[in-house]
Amino acid sequence: MTTLSTHVLDTGAGAPRADLEVVLATGAGAELERARTDADGRIRFATVLDGGHHALTFATATAFHPVVRVDLTVDGAEPHHHVALLLSPFAYTTYKGS
């Protein structure tokens, strides 16, 4: 069983992205949890995950990328996964953090 957290940073503004809605779902699309980033752009999901395919959908509300979906494979043997999302006006990148 594994936990998951995320951190969203607005690289254009040089600041965390607060109050951004994020949906955690199974790979098949069943919603597991919906949350909003805190003032530091972070969410620690309460849902405990089994291994397998999952997705995070970020409602970025930007003109070019209004929604960002990050598909990931959760390794159930690891106690925690962290997914960071860096946003700019016309691009985004993501990485597995620690």
Instruction: Evaluate if residue 1 carries a pLDDT over 90.
Output: no
Q: Tell me, what's the pLDDT at 25?
A: 98
pLDDT digit string, tens, across residues 15-61:
999 999 999 999 999 999 999 999 999 999 999 999 999 999 999 98
**d(C-alpha 37, C-alpha 77), whole Å:** 26
Amino acid in position 81: H
More confident residue, 39 or 1: 39
Give the pLDDT score at 62.
81
SS3 assignment for the chain? CEEEEEEEEECCCCEECCCCEEEEEECCCCEEEEEECCCCCEEECCCCECCEEEEEEECCCCCCCCCEEEEEEECCCCCEEEEEEEEECCEEEEEEEC
Please name the residue that has the structure tokens 């998951």.
4
The contacts of residue 30 (CB under 8 Å, 6+ apart) are none
